[in-house]
Structure 1
Amino acid sequence: MTAPPGVILAGGLASRMGGGDKGLLMLGEQPLLTHVIARLRPQVSGLALNANGDAARFADFGLPVLPDSVPGYAGPLAGVLAGLDWAAGQGADSIVTAAADTPFFPTDLVARLQAAGDGMAVPLVLAATPDARRGQVRHPTFGLWPVVLREDLRAALRDGMRKVVLWTDRHGAREALFQASGHDPFFNVNTPADLQAAATLLGEVS
């Protein structure tokens, strides 16, 4: 199965970190974003970064920077749309997204998302993990997204859609279930305490 291009979502406001770019925070000796790139790049055919504001601050990473086309920080769906528009220009059928603040996501993320979408006319898949109380939890910034739905997504965003799972449920999305193995594979850095926890995990996660 052909690997799709990947898009790292970094368009949020990072309000719980006091603002700024979470991806530029240092984890160990490298920015968070460097860890995410190293994990995603081997899984995809190309890579871009969804971020807003001055793209020059990401110049050292050597990635195309895709701003939201929807104003007002419309959330992850706006970043997905930016990625789909970019991928359409390259003739790709889909993209896989990952969050810029989640440094330990699975190294088989893309293959597992694609496998979960096998047989779907329009493969749309979110990553999920088991949860003792809720059955499973979906991770809406980690997904396989078909380019063919980009105009539907654009219209939904213009109509005020902001919740990822509401839009994906509308299109019959599936889930790819990932088991935790000693740590939450989708642990993300939202607070200074999370950054400290990630530093501890860094030595334990390959």
Structure 2
Amino acid sequence: MTSAPLAGCILAGGLARRMGGGDKTLLPLSGAPMLARVISRLQPQVGAVVLNANGDAGRFSRFGLPVVADPIEGFAGPLAGVLAGLRWARAHHGEAEGVISVAGDTPFYPADLAARLMEARGPDAGRIVLAKSDGHMHPVFGYWPVSVADSLERFLREGTTRKVLAFVNLHPNTAADFTPEAGAPDPFFNINTPEDLEAAEARARIEA
């Protein structure tokens, strides 16, 4: 865990259309729900973890985490999940400077994600930091200052777009580079299709 007080938010609100609908985070990977692997990677990196998901929270009860729904009506995308995490952190962990967001369908993300995001942030607790690798941004993986919560809610309720980078560019921000070494697998490989899940099973066996 980093020295800065942080909360973690797992974004599990995707519609999973290419997986046939439902909660792809609950699909089995190496004999356990994919979400279990995501949780186990995040918990050592932050002080507390919340799960962002809509609908019946009871389907996640086995994981023992608080579950918060999007505070914006309709499917408002990942920024609504980030806002849910920020509101939860402010209410329940007032000491937290920010929230580390991760995607629930990306089981191999870096085990040092929070530390490297904070290193890129530097001393400015109000700076948003997003992950990138191989020149591509991964806007679902980032550090979000608690101080931007009100601005984010206004953006989602009043703005004409809900694109992550459109909001990020309204605030001080930077990126943390997670480009892997040549030949190393993509740390932000996410599961969208049954074929992706098969590839993840193979990778999990190698990394076991």
Fold-level match, TM-score > 0.5? yes
Report the more deviating stretch, 154-163 or 77-86.
154-163
- 1:22 is the counterpart of 2:24: yes
Give the ranges of 4+ consecutive aligned residues of structure 1 lying more than 6 Å apart after TM superposition: none
TM-superposed deviation, 1:106? 0.5
In structure 2, the residue matched to 1:152 is 151
Structure 1: gaps (5+ residues): 131-135
TM-superposed deviation, 1:73? 1.0
Report the more deviating stretch, 166-175 or 81-90.
166-175
TM-superposed deviation, 1:5? 1.0
Matched residue type, 1:36: V
Deviations 1:152-188 (CA, angstroms, capped at 9, x unpaired): 0000000243111111122131100002241000000
In structure 2, the residue matched to 1:95 is 99
- How many residues get paired? 201
Structure 1 contact 104–205 (Cα < 8 Å) conserved? no
SS at match of 1:204: helix
In structure 2, the residue matched to 1:64 is 66
- TM superposition score normalised by structure 1: 0.94
- TM superposition score normalised by structure 2: 0.93
In structure 1, the residue matched to 2:175 is 175
SS at match of 1:57: helix
In structure 2, the residue matched to 1:46 is 48
Deviations 1:33-73 (CA, angstroms, capped at 9, x unpaired): 00101111111101110000000000000000010010111
Matched residue type, 1:145: W
Structure 2: gaps (5+ residues): none
